[in-house]
Amino acid sequence: MTDLKDGGLKDAGNPAVTGGAVISAKDLDLTFQTNDGPVHALKGVSLDIEKGDFVSFIGPSGCGKTTFLRCMADLEQPTGGSITVNGVSAAEARAARAYGYVFQAAGLYPWRTIGGNISLPLEIMGYSKTEQRARVARVLELVELAGFENKFPWQLSGGMQQRASIARALGFDADILLMDEPFGALDEIVRDHLNEQLLKLWARTEKTIAFVTHSIPEAVYLSTKIVVMSPRPGRITDVIDSPLPKDRPLDIRETPEFLEVAHRVREGLRAGHGDD
Ligand SMILES: Nc1ncnc2c1ncn2[C@@H]1O[C@H](COP(=O)(O)OP(=O)(O)OP(=O)(O)O)[C@@H](O)[C@H]1O
């Protein structure tokens, strides 16, 4: 399922971001043609994601969150509107390896060690062995998996495997990380811990992150901006700029500010349902 070319990150400097949005969608539409007729997945979706933003997408199942992320990654072609990534088309950004993509399932090759999995895209891109080793060590340290390089995926817990998959997506130093429900399959305690680690990683690396989730607390805890989507055809019904400080201990989730944002997200989800 995981295409490593898609999970890779580009090497050269980012193209043409000169102050504008890192990701900019304008009036995006996507209709899939299926045997059962057209499926209208996205309708009139417009959004700007600025450099350094942590943007979460939340909405009911089938509302087009993954489809939108895949449009950013040039893995789906919109049937209307436009999208730019780093100031160029999604296709050009993909060719320049502008982003790392983390899937819901870690998608690690069981016959390769953790280090081997992380270095695979680097190998494909022709990095020297020395450079590969240095990069693997650096990203493993970033996801707090230093020392696990020679383990095989099955020797790691689900949460550790997901961290390894994040490390793989960090290998090329792209400034954009696209994450599709990376922690959806994990239990709550592990998820809390990974949420904390992801925030630290984001603060350290200053990446721009687009993150799909079903969890209101996860969206509110992680994001600088929360995008609420409606049931199909997926539209954006609310964009909430988080008032929470960047530094967020887990117990911030019990503060009135946090609960207020969570309430607004919940209301947005309800209102979206009401439109149908
Ligand atoms: N390749 C495809 N061909 C046909 N229909 C598709 C395709 N990909 C997605 N869809 C449909 O488009 C709609 C949006 O799907 P998408 O996966 O983007 O939703 P989602 O919000 O990410 O859902 P979930 O939260 O369940 O993962 C769904 O109705 C889905 O069945």
pLDDT at 101: 92
Pocket test for ligand 1, best of 1, 29, 32 (most atoms within 8 A of CB): 32
CA of 61 to the centre of ligand 1 (A): 8
- The amino acid that residue 92 corresponds to is E
- What is the three-class DSSP state of 263? helix
Pocket test for ligand 1, best of 1, 33, 43, 65 (most atoms within 8 A of CB): 65
Which domains, from first to last, does the chain contain?
4-109+175-274 (3.40.50.300)
Ligand 1 proximity of 35 Cβ (cutoff 6 Å): no
Ligand 1 proximity of 75 Cβ (cutoff 6 Å): no
pLDDT at 11: 36
Q: Whose CA is nearest to atom 8 of ligand 1?
A: 67
ipTM of the complex in this document: 0.97
Ligand 1 proximity of 39 Cβ (cutoff 6 Å): yes
pLDDT at 10: 35
Ligand 1 proximity of 64 Cβ (cutoff 6 Å): yes
Q: How far is CA 236 from CA 228, 241, 272, in A?
A: 6, 14, 9
Q: Whose CA is nearest to atom 12 of ligand 1?
A: 41
Measured CA to CA, the distance from residue 29 to residue 43 in angstroms comes to 5
Q: Whose CA is nearest to atom 28 of ligand 1?
A: 62
Across 182-209, b (16+ Cβ under 10 Å) vs e yields bbeebeeebbbbbbebbbebbeebebbb
What pTM was estimated for this model as a whole? 0.89
Per-residue pLDDT of the chain (276 residues; tens, 9 = 90+): 333 333 333 333 344 444 579 999 999 999 999 999 999 999 999 999 999 999 999 999 999 999 999 999 999 999 999 999 999 999 999 999 999 999 888 889 999 999 999 999 999 889 999 999 999 999 998 888 999 999 999 999 988 999 999 999 888 888 999 999 988 878 888 889 889 989 998 998 889 999 999 999 999 999 999 999 998 889 999 999 999 998 899 999 999 999 999 999 999 998 877 544
| Chain-centre distance for alpha carbon 215 | 14
